[in-house]
Structure 1
Amino acid sequence: MKKVRVGVIGCGSVARRRHLLEYASNEQAEIVAVVDLVEERAQEMAELYQAKAFTDYKEALAECDLDAVSVCLPNHLHASVTIDALKAGLHVLCEKPMAISAEEAEAMISTAKEYDRKLMIGHNQRFVASHQQAKKLLDSGELGKVYSFKTTFGHPGPEGWSIDGRASWFFNTEEAFIGALGDLGVHKSDLIRYLLGDVAEVGAFVETSAKENTEIDDNAMCILKMKSGAIGSLAASWSYVSGGDNSTYIYTEKAVLKIEADPVYPLVVSYSNGDTVNYELAKIQSNEEGGQTKTYVVDRFIEAITQDKEPLITGEEGLKSLNVILAALESNRTKRFVNLDQ
C-alpha cells in the first residue's frame, strides 16, 4: 500500500511530542517535509525523520508531492495555512483551536468541501479510553438522566511546555488570540459535547490573574447549559502551580462518573445503590515525564485518508467546540449569558 506522504508545518513542542512521533510510528505514513521559520529547528527534525527541511511552507507544498499536512502553528496562522494546503490538494490535520474566529473556521470548512479534501481538528480527548468508556455508559441509557457535570483542565502554564518557554507565542495576544481557554478550555468544550451533546447557553468569567506582562487569559470559569437541559461548569487555567487537573465529573440519575479524577482508576462509577465499579484503562495522555503521549489523533487522520472516510473530528465539529469558547469570551465581555442558537 502506498504510504501517505506527510508534511508537518511548525516544529515546536506539539509537533515534536505529538505529530512527528505519531506519524513516525504509523506504518501507513511517511514524513516527507518539515517546516519551521527557525531553520535550525526544521533541520533538526529533518535529520531526525529523514525528511526535507523548509522555512517556507509554500515551498514545501509546491515541491514535495505531499498528500497531507499537519498544521502545528500559532493560532492566528491555523486558518490561512490550512486553506492554502487544502487549495494545494492536500488533506489537513489542524491543531486546536482550529481558528481565532467563526468566520475563519467556516472558510476552512468550505474550502475543504470545495476541494474535496479531508479536514480534521486535533481534539484528542475523544480518544482517551476513560472518555470513550464513559460515553458508552451514557449512551446506553443505563445511568438515566444526566443532571449536571464539571470538567476541568488546568496546569502551571505553557511556558513549561512550549519550545520558546515564557517568550512563547502563547502569551502574545496577536498570535494566540485566546489563552487558557483556547489552549485547554476548547479541549473540554469538545469533550463535553462528545459526552453530552451540544451546548445551548454559555456564561463565563475570564481573567488574567496568574501571568505577568501579558493580556492573554489564564483563568476561566464557564457555566454551560446543554441542549439536553443538563447544566455544569467548565474550568480552564494556567494557574495550577503544583500540577495538572484533567478531570470530569458527571452526575446522573443512577450514578456519579469520576473521570480522570482517581490516581489509580481512570474511570470510577459510583452507583446510587452503593455499588462502585473501577475501570482499569489506558491512561490519559500527559506532558509529564513517563506519561502516556500517544493521542491517536494522527492514526485516525491517516485512517480517514487511506480508507476514504470522514474524519472523526471534522471541521464542523471543531467549529462547534470553538463556538463555545468564543461565546465564553462574549459572555465575559457583555456580562450576559450567550445563546448559541442565536
Structure 2
Amino acid sequence: MSKVRVAVVGCGSISERRHIPEYAAHPDVELVAFADPILERAEGYAELYNAKAYSDYKQLLAAGGFDAVSVCTPNALHAEVSIAAANAGAHVLVEKPMAVSNEEALDMIAAAEKNNVFLMVAHNQRLMPPHVRAKEILKQGHLGRVLTFRTAFGHSGPEGWSIDGKNSWFFRKGEAVMGAMGDLGVHKSDMIRWLLDDEVVSVSAFIGTLDKKDTDVDDNAICLLRMGSGAIGSLVASWTSYRGEDNGTVLWCEHGVMKIGTDPVDQVIVELTNGSIERYQVGAIATNDKQVASGVMDEFISCIQNNVAPVISGEEGRRSLEVILAAFRSQEEGRTIDL
C-alpha cells in the first residue's frame, strides 16, 4: 500500500505534541510539507522529515504533492484553510472547533463533498479508552437511562500549553474568536453527544472572563444542557483550574452512577443501586499534563486508506460547534436557546 502524503498547516503546539509525532509514528504516512507564518518553525520540521517548508499555506497548496492536510491554525482560519485544501483535492483533518460559525462549518462540509474528499474533525475525546469503555457499558443497559450528568474540562490555560505562552493567539479574539469554550467546551459537547447517542436540544449558559488578564476571550463557562431524551446536565469549560486538570464526567442513571476520569487508578467506575461496584482500568484520558496518543491521526489515515468516511465527520463537528455557539447566544441574550 502506498504511503499517504500529509501536509501540516500550522506548526504550533497541537502540531508539535499531537499531529506531527502521531503521523511520524504511522508506518504508512510520509510527511511532505509544513507551513507556518513563522517560517523557521516549518523549516525545522521540513529538515527533520526531508519535507518542504512554506510561510504561506497558499504556496503549500499550490505546490501540491500531498494527499491529506492537517489544519492546525488559529480558530479563525480553520474554515478558510480547510476549504482551500479541499479545493486542492486533499482530504482534510481540522482541529476543533472546526469553525467559528455555523455558516463556515456548512461551507467546509460543502467543499469536501464537492471535491469528493473526506473532512474529519479532531475530536479526540471520542477515541479515549475510558470514554469508549463507558459507551460500551451504557449500551449493555444495566445502568438504565441516563437521567442527569456532569462533564467538565479544565486546565490552567493556554499559556502553559501554547508554543507562544502568554503571547499565544488563544488570547487574541480576532484569531481565537472564542476562548475556553472553543478550546475545551466543544470537546465536551462533542463527547456528551456521542456518549449518550443523543442531541442537545436546549442550552443555558454563563460565560465570562474571570481571571485571565489582557484578553477579551472567555476563560470560564458553565452551561446547562437538555438532551433530546430529556436528560439534563452541566458542561463546564475552564482555563482557571490552577491546581490539577479536570476532565471528568459523571452520569447518574436509573440503576446507578458511572464515573469517568474521576479516579487516578480506575478510569471508569460503575456503582449500582444493588450495591455492586465495577472498576475498569482501561488507559488514561489525554491531558496537557499527561500526553497520550490521541488516536485521531490513525483514524484519519485509516479512513483514507480504506475509503471509509470518517465517523467524526464535518457534520458531527458542526453539531458539536452548534452547542457552543448556542451557549454564547444564551450568555448574550440572557435566555435559554433551543436548538
Query: What range describes the TM-score normalised by the shorter chain of this pair?
Result: over 0.9
Q: Which residue of 2 aligns with 1:255?
A: 256
Deviations 1:178-207 (A, max 9, x none): 000000000000000011111010000001
Q: Which residue of 1 aligns with 2:332?
A: 333
Q: Which residue of 2 aligns with 1:100?
A: 100
Deviations 1:185-241 (A, max 9, x none): 000000000111110100000010110111100010000000010000000000111
Provide the C-alpha distance between the structure 1 equivalents of 2:243 and 2:48, rounded to a whole number of angstroms.
Answer: 33
Determine whether 1:138 maps to 2:138. Answer: yes
- Residue range with higher mean Cα deviation, 134-143 or 301-310: 134-143
CA contact (8 A) 2:260 2:267 kept: yes
1:113-124 mapped onto 2 (5 Å cutoff): 113-124=113-124
Q: Which residue of 2 aligns with 1:44?
A: 44
Q: Which residue of 1 aligns with 2:240?
A: 239
Give ranges in structure 2 of 5+ residues lacking alignment: none
State the 1:98 CA deviation: 0.3
Q: Which residue of 1 aligns with 2:301?
A: 302
Residue type matched to 2:297 in 1?
Answer: V
Provide the C-alpha distance between the structure 1 equivalents of 2:187 and 2:287, rounded to a whole number of angstroms.
Answer: 14
Provide the C-alpha distance between the structure 2 equivalents of 1:257 and 1:141, rounded to a whole number of angstroms.
Answer: 12
State the 1:46 CA deviation: 1.3
Provide the C-alpha distance between the structure 2 equivalents of 1:276 and 1:139, rounded to a whole number of angstroms.
Answer: 18
Provide the C-alpha distance between the structure 2 equivalents of 1:19 and 1:144, rounded to a whole number of angstroms.
Answer: 38
Provide the C-alpha distance between the structure 2 equivalents of 1:152 and 1:62, rounded to a whole number of angstroms.
Answer: 41
Q: Which residue of 1 aligns with 2:223?
A: 222
Q: Which residue of 2 aligns with 1:79?
A: 79
Provide the C-alpha distance between the structure 2 equivalents of 1:324 and 1:139, rounded to a whole number of angstroms.
Answer: 24
Provide the C-alpha distance between the structure 2 equivalents of 1:66 and 1:237, rounded to a whole number of angstroms.
Answer: 37
Residue type matched to 1:22 in 2?
Answer: E
Q: Which residue of 1 aligns with 2:31?
A: 31
State the 1:67 CA deviation: 0.2
Provide the C-alpha distance between the structure 2 equivalents of 1:149 and 1:208, rounded to a whole number of angstroms.
Answer: 25
TM-score by length of 2: 0.98
CA contact (8 A) 1:207 1:217 kept: yes
Q: Which residue of 1 aligns with 2:211?
A: 210
CA contact (8 A) 1:257 1:270 kept: yes
Provide the C-alpha distance between the structure 1 equivalents of 2:67 and 2:139, rounded to a whole number of angstroms.
Answer: 36
Provide the C-alpha distance between the structure 2 equivalents of 1:241 and 1:86, rounded to a whole number of angstroms.
Answer: 39
Q: Which residue of 2 aligns with 1:264?
A: 265
Provide the C-alpha distance between the structure 2 equivalents of 1:205 and 1:94, rounded to a whole number of angstroms.
Answer: 28
Q: Which residue of 1 aligns with 2:322?
A: 323
Provide the C-alpha distance between the structure 2 equivalents of 1:284 and 1:214, rounded to a whole number of angstroms.
Answer: 29
Give ranges in structure 1 of 5+ residues lacking alignment: none
Aligned residue pairs total 338
State the 1:106 CA deviation: 0.3
- 3-state SS, counterpart of residue 149 of structure 2: strand
TM-score by length of 1: 0.98
- Give me the CA root mean square deviation: 0.8
